[in-house]
Structure 1
Amino acid sequence: MSPSLSDTPALSRRGLLKFSLGASAFLATAGLGASLSGCSSSTAANGFVILRSGDLLFLRALIPVMLEGAVAAEKIPASLDQTLHSLDNSLNHLSPEMLKLTQQLFDVLGMAVTRGPLTGIWGSWENASGDEIRHFLYRWENSSLSLLRMGHSSLKQLVMMAWYTRAESWVHCGYPGPPTV
């Protein structure tokens, strides 16, 4: 007779460390595999310096959800394009190592084989609802895996920095802008 779930001990620290190590190895392998297999295009999308077409699919779904409350609904399309170009500019000024890590994160989120298990979004990003994206962000923000929490933090910082460097965003938070010199 096998023990029931309630009879088995909770996940130990050692078990959690093993799981975290395995998950980290999986993500690193998936990112490297995407880069080497050609699933991840290194060519920038038309009109961008760094962001690739696959990145844009993911970011076009993510950014409107992250900007909710900071942008009026009718201004989301224009704000989305402005934020994408601001993000592209920021990525263009990252160190090569940080850019590589960011692109690996985007690769893992863009590949169907890793997107579903890691985000809970099994279809394409284009078809994901706002609630599904909010749930994915909540899962990563509150994950027991530090790697996913770091991924959430990175995404949030990238998007928020790209948005709040734009003068259009300053009105919402009451910032009058930098002083004129």
Structure 2
Amino acid sequence: MIDTTVGPANLSRRSLLKVGLVGSAFLATAGVTATLSGCSASHPHTGMLILRSSDLPFLRALIPVLLEGAVAPENMPKAVEDTIASLDYSLSHLSPEMLKLTVQLFDVLSMPITRGPLTGIWGSWENASHDDIQAFLDRWQNSYLDLLKMGHASLLQLVMMSWYSRPESWAHCGYPGPPTV
């Protein structure tokens, strides 16, 4: 029989503080760099409430990978755009603090200086293959850094919530829709 118990983490308070300090410094540096270089536009893309032009290439690359198997290939382009619209609407209803964290996550994933080391995608999102994006998702999901695991979970939840809130997604999972009143 295989022993599947997990031993105690060898993470002392000092190590935890170091990881937190390094992570905070990294995110602060990324944020300042984005602001000074003009990468982090604070205004929404035309027709959007929250999402910016810099967020869209990442989302258009990510969403088809996450929706694979739930959407027929011929319906994928429309599903991606509809999911982005739902995501934008959902983000407009987040608390200011949660929205700030989500925007920071999108900034880190949009900027080349942080995207490459954190995701393994060194070129633009438009040029990333399905396998590259799946490898990035697997890397974050199985990371030993809790910050990356939380980022993966956040991305997955945001996209899935946005897709499955749409009526066209319900048939795939057998949901007949809300009862009529």
- Note whether the superposition's TM-score is higher than 0.5: yes
Structure 1: distance between partners of 2:21 and 2:142: 18
Structure 2: distance between partners of 1:16 and 1:58: 32
Instruction: Return the match for 1:13 from 11, 14, 29.
Output: 11
Query: Could you say which residue in structure 1 is the equivalent of 2:59?
Result: 59
Query: Could you say which residue in structure 2 is the equivalent of 1:38?
Result: 38
Q: Deviation digits for residues 82-118 of structure 1, max 9, x if unmatched?
A: 0000000000111111111100000000000000000
Structure 1: distance between partners of 2:119 and 2:42: 23
1:125 corresponds to 2:114: no
Structure 1 residues not aligned, in runs of 5+: 1-11
1:40–1:107 Cα contact (<8 Å) kept? yes
Structure 2: distance between partners of 1:134 and 1:27: 23
Structure 1: distance between partners of 2:127 and 2:103: 22
Structure 2: distance between partners of 1:60 and 1:49: 17
Query: Could you say which residue in structure 1 is the equivalent of 2:5?
Result: none
Percent identity over the alignment is 69
CA displacement at 1:25 relative to structure 2 = 2.4
Structure 1: distance between partners of 2:167 and 2:54: 27
Structure 2: distance between partners of 1:21 and 1:115: 20
Structure 1: distance between partners of 2:20 and 2:167: 41
1:61–1:126 Cα contact (<8 Å) kept? yes
Structure 1: distance between partners of 2:24 and 2:64: 29
1:140 corresponds to 2:144: no
In the superposition, the TM-score normalised over structure 1's length comes to 0.88
In the superposition, the TM-score normalised over structure 2's length comes to 0.88
Q: Aligned in 2, Cα 1:113/1:102: closer, same or farther, shift over 3 Å?
A: same
Shifted more, 14-23 versus 86-95: the winner is 14-23
What letter corresponds to residue 33 of structure 1 in structure 2? Answer: T
1:31–1:105 Cα contact (<8 Å) kept? no
Structure 2: distance between partners of 1:62 and 1:24: 25
2:87–2:158 Cα contact (<8 Å) kept? yes
Query: Could you say which residue in structure 2 is the equivalent of 1:8?
Result: none
Query: Could you say which residue in structure 1 is the equivalent of 2:6?
Result: none
What letter corresponds to residue 28 of structure 2 in structure 1? Answer: A
Query: Could you say which residue in structure 2 is the equivalent of 1:9?
Result: none
What letter corresponds to residue 13 of structure 1 in structure 2? Answer: L
Runs of 4+ more than 4 Å apart = none
Give the alignment's Cα RMSD to 1 decimal. Answer: 1.6
CA displacement at 1:34 relative to structure 2 = 1.6
1:32–1:104 Cα contact (<8 Å) kept? no
Structure 1: distance between partners of 2:38 and 2:98: 20
